[in-house]
Structure 1
Amino acid sequence: MATLTIAGDYTSALTHFALYGLSLMVEQKHPGTITVGWSQEGQPCAQMHAEGVSEEEIAECVHSYVSSLAAEDSWVNVDQSYGVGKEAAVFSPFSPRIRGIDAEKYPDDWASHQKTRQAHLDTLIERDDLLSLLWISGLGEPSYWRFEAKAPRPDHGASRWEMKTRNKGQEFIKHRLRLMCADLATWEPSAMLSGITGQTLYDSLDNKPDSRTGTGFTVPQPTDTALAFCALVGIANFPVIHQIHRIGVTPGAYPYNALHPRLMVLPVSSGRVTPARLRTVLRSHPYRRVVDEVGKAMERGSLSPDIFVSELADEKAILREKGVQAFVAFPIAKVGSDSAPERQVLKGSAIPLG
């Protein structure tokens, strides 16, 4: 059995999401073999256990998946044209925050957009690529149905954990994920594993002191590209819950109805749990209650483990039964301009269930 320790510790959102993403990629190739958890030490570290799977096979799972995404016919590489003439623009139909669709001015654009998406979703179903389907659900999609003061709000259908800055009209798939996949497909599997476990740090996209390779899961800093890719895949564990009359809900975000949340709350398990068990926690009502109550308490300046004795006693019992021993609260900084705001997840602090 291989046990991998992910780079970083419980205070890093990048580490949490990288654990989620890595376990999903290996689970797709080796179903029923994966459990995840946290080491029992002062600074708990994220660990993935793979029964009957070697480290080399784990590395090959990551390389195989990223290579499939880098393929010419992949959903990551498809583009769609919107508008005409001077208003023409080309975007990925799988980027969740594009503003290129004007359903009133160009009514055929939306039908064409949906047709392209559906064709690729059908292909993923035929290929049994359940991970990509989960990931697309986690990223969300432009919400053509949302308006504020008659202005379209396509970003209301996007995951709050897709945090690519939209400088000069850039979008997530075309200007981050596509470049990342093309680059990582040229790596040796062993180099990927080395970056994921923190033995090396190779920021092949933007190796500068203020690198954005971490895509919001860290403050600007050099970040290993393979580790960042795993974290982005981890968004698949957080499906966006679309709503007709309000902004979509992203699990783990507080406030749930804010475009730019102020807090991310994630669980830490006491032992090994399967990826499926983890997903049930992240999509559960008790988890949603914890996120909301922890967020309110932090804003009041009254957060303590006592919250699980008073307001969250029932939720504590349910979540403990599912293997949760603590939560980590991550403040989220909003920086940049009003036209291109940037979210950065800061260092987290633990809240034991007690």
Structure 2
Amino acid sequence: MELAGEYTSALTTFAGLGAALILERSGARRVRLGWTNTTSPRLKLTAEGEDDATIAAMIQQHAKDRAMHASWLHADLEGDPWAGANAVFSPRIKSAAAKSGKGAPTPSSAEIAARWQTLQKARYEGIDQELASPGHDADLELIGALGEPAYWRIASNGPRPDEGASRWEMKTRNRGEDFVGNRLRGLARIVAKREPATVLGGLTGRTLVDEAYAKNRSDESRTATGLTVPRFTDSALAWCGLWGIASFPVIHRFDRPSVTAGAFPVGRFMPAKLVLPVLTGAYSLGRWRAMLLSEQLARCAEAGVGEETTARAWLVSHGAEALIAFQVNVSDNPNAPERYLGEGTAMPLR
């Protein structure tokens, strides 16, 4: 299967990584992903014994299973101050230090601590449930890579729970919405209702159906959730793209914002750019992840490919033809700043 989009779109690479994860954890053998060595490169996804139709059917079934009410996507926080309005596994939600409602008193330190404990208990119970469910490895990988509200981050100007979240979870927080409850959950339902043939059309670019924003202008669509500029995006492609976040783990730090793979400068709360490799050929998901987490990619991303000859040679020897840098754009909305990735700029390695 050749996925829709070009290497200058971060969504394409994220969708390839997400689809590869879904296939592998669904039991497909020898899943491989890589860019074609052609004038107009396409991202090609293959699995032993599977054709495009069966790959699309596996992705549709994956969404169907997650659309079921028992899925972790549907677990909500019921206590104050969330009152069922935030998902358990969203990494950016209302702070436990928030008032329970308009006119409510400011919670005490003991109340805040108890709320965080409630959140942690709900997370642990949900993770235990996933651990006990065969075939849910992909879910655990995504939950881990999304990060979590950083209850441990207290700065001089107050709590900073968003500093424990993945930088690639870019759902806007206007009106108290969150990533799992207000984006993943809806996409699961949408993709689950499609026929596999329609999923296939969206993944390959033969069709583009953005069900959630069908009555809006293209620039009003947030289906891509920051992986492209706001524009109509096929729901199946976006579903795979958001599962691609699982390949960008978060490392928590006590005294600073958490580190997200692919975000540079390393550890900055609002990164300047995402850097992705362009692997030409057919590579395992493990190879892609090793490249994304490599010191060599980080060195080239920070210092520039021209300054890091040894790191550049290592990347080339492991299949990379180039690195692509995507600027992280941030809107000027002070209440709900919107982050999204711009068009990628290639940095050839040869």
* Same-fold status (TM-score > 0.5): yes
**Equivalent residue number for residue 15 of structure 2:** 18
Q: Decide which of 244, 257, 280 is 1:247's aligned counterpart.
A: 257
**Equivalent residue number for residue 178 of structure 1:** 185
Q: Distance in 2 between matches of 1:286 and 1:61?
A: 34
Q: How does 1:203-242 map to 2 (within 5 A)?
A: 203-207=210-214, 208-210=217-219, 211-242=221-252
Normalising by structure 1, report the TM-score: 0.90
Q: Decide which of 155, 163, 170 is 2:170's aligned counterpart.
A: 163
Cα drift, residue 82 of structure 1? 3.5
Paired residues of 1:79 and 1:93 also in contact (CA < 8 A): yes
Paired residues of 1:80 and 1:90 also in contact (CA < 8 A): yes
> CA offsets, 1:310-352, max 9 Å, x none?
x211212222222111111111211141121011111112111
What stretches of structure 2 of length at least 5 have no aligned partner?
98-108
Q: Which amino acid aligns with 2:10?
A: A
Name the SS of the counterpart of 1:80 in structure 2: coil
Q: Decide which of 326, 347, 352 is 2:343's aligned counterpart.
A: 347
Q: How many residue pairs are counted as aligned between the two chains?
A: 335
Q: How does 1:48-127 map to 2 (within 5 A)?
A: 48-83=45-80, 90-102=85-97, 104-127=110-133
Q: Considering only aligned residues, what root-mean-square deviation do their CA atoms show, in Å?
A: 1.6
Q: Distance in 2 between matches of 1:329 and 1:27?
A: 27
Q: Distance in 2 between matches of 1:163 and 1:90?
A: 18
Q: Distance in 1 between matches of 2:152 and 2:51?
A: 47
Q: Distance in 1 between matches of 2:145 and 2:92?
A: 13
Name the SS of the counterpart of 2:340 in structure 1: strand
**Equivalent residue number for residue 104 of structure 2:** none
> Does 1:196 pair with 2:192?
no
Normalising by structure 2, report the TM-score: 0.91
Q: Distance in 2 between matches of 1:105 and 1:127?
A: 33
Report % sequence identity: 39
Name the SS of the counterpart of 1:33 in structure 2: strand
Name the SS of the counterpart of 2:93 in structure 1: coil
Q: Distance in 2 between matches of 1:37 and 1:19?
A: 8
Name the SS of the counterpart of 2:313 in structure 1: helix
What stretches of structure 1 of length at least 5 have no aligned partner?
295-306
Cα drift, residue 104 of structure 1? 4.2
Structure 1 stretches of at least 4 aligned residues deviating more than 4 Å after TM superposition:
none
> Aligned pair in 2 of structure 1 residues 88, 26: CA closer, same or farther (>3 Å)?
closer
Between 127-136 and 251-260, the greater mean CA deviation after superposition = 251-260
Q: Distance in 2 between matches of 1:120 and 1:288?
A: 33
Q: Distance in 2 between matches of 1:197 and 1:154?
A: 38
Paired residues of 2:6 and 2:12 also in contact (CA < 8 A): yes
Name the SS of the counterpart of 1:121 in structure 2: helix
Cα drift, residue 287 of structure 1? 1.9
**Equivalent residue number for residue 302 of structure 1:** none
Q: Distance in 1 between matches of 2:237 and 2:28?
A: 22
Q: Distance in 2 between matches of 1:93 and 1:104?
A: 21
Name the SS of the counterpart of 1:82 in structure 2: coil
Q: Which amino acid aligns with 2:43?
A: A
Paired residues of 2:86 and 2:94 also in contact (CA < 8 A): no
Between 147-156 and 160-169, the greater mean CA deviation after superposition = 147-156
Paired residues of 2:86 and 2:93 also in contact (CA < 8 A): yes
Q: Which amino acid aligns with 2:119?
A: H
Cα drift, residue 56 of structure 1? 2.2
Q: Decide which of 338, 346, 350 is 2:334's aligned counterpart.
A: 338
Name the SS of the counterpart of 2:32 in structure 1: strand
Q: Which amino acid aligns with 2:117?
A: A
